[in-house]
Amino acid sequence: MKKRNKKNIILENIKLLNAGAKGVAIGRTEEGKTVMVTGAIPGDIVNVKVKKAKSKYYEGEAIDLLEKSPHRVDPKCIHFGVCGGCKWQNMSYEKQLDFKQEEVYNNIKRIGGIDNFETVPILGSQEQYYYRNKMEFSFSNARWLTQYEISSEENFGNRDALGFHIPGMWSKILDLKECFLQEEPSNTIRLAVKEYAVKNGLDFFDVKNHEGFLRTLMMRQNSNGEWMVLFQLFREEKENREKLFQFLLETFPQIKTLVYAINPKANDSIYDLDINVYFGEGYLMEEMDGLKFKIGPKSFFQTNYKQALELYRKTLEFADLKGDEVVYDLYTGTGTIAQYVARKAKQVIGIESVQEAIDAAIEHAQLNGLTNTTFYCGDMKDIFNDEFLANHPKADVLITDPPRDGMHQKVVEQILKLSPEKVVYVSCNSATQARDLALMKDHYDVVKILPVDMFPQTHHVENIALLIKK
Residue 147 assigned ligand-binding role: no
Ligand-binding site membership of 352 (annotated): yes
* Integer Cα distance of 249 and 258 in angstroms: 8
CA distance linking residue 274 with residue 277, whole number of Å: 10
Q: How many other CB atoms are found less than 10 A from the CB of residue 200? A: 11
Region of residue 244 (phi > 0: left; psi between -120 and 50: alpha; otherwise: beta): alpha
Strands of the sheet with 373-377, listed across from one edge: 118-119, 444-452, 462-469, 422-427, 397-400, 326-330, 347-352, 373-377
The angle that helices 238-251 and 186-199 make with each other, rounded to 10 degrees, is 140
The Cα angle at residue 90 between residues 84 and 173, in degrees rounded to 5: 20
Angle at 160 between CA 158 and CA 161, to 5 degrees: 140
Q: How many angstroms from the chain centroid is the CA of residue 373?
A: 27
SS3 333: coil
SS3 of 108, please? Answer: helix
Angstrom CA distances, 260 to 165, 216, 230, 234, stand at 21, 10, 5, 11
Question: If DSSP codes are grouped into helix, strand and coil, which group holds residue 16?
Answer: strand
Give, rounded to a whole angstrom, the gap between the first and last alpha carbons of the chain. Answer: 52
HEC string of 273-318 equals CCCEEEECCCCEEEEECCEEEEECCCCCCCCCHHHHHHHHHHHHHH
Residue 302 annotated as binding?
yes
At residue 352, what is the residue type?
Answer: E
How far apart CA 131 and CA 115 sit, in angstroms, is: 34
Please list the active-site residues.
Answer: 428
The enclosing H or E element of 4 equals strand 2-5
CB-CB contact of 164 with 138 (8 Å) = yes
Are 251 and 192 a contacting pair, CB within 8 Å? yes
Give the distance between the most distant pair of CA atoms in the chain: 72
Phi, psi for 152 (deg, rounded to 5): -70, -20
Answer yes or no: is 130 a known binding residue.
Answer: no
Binding residues for S-adenosyl-L-methionine: 302, 331, 352, 401
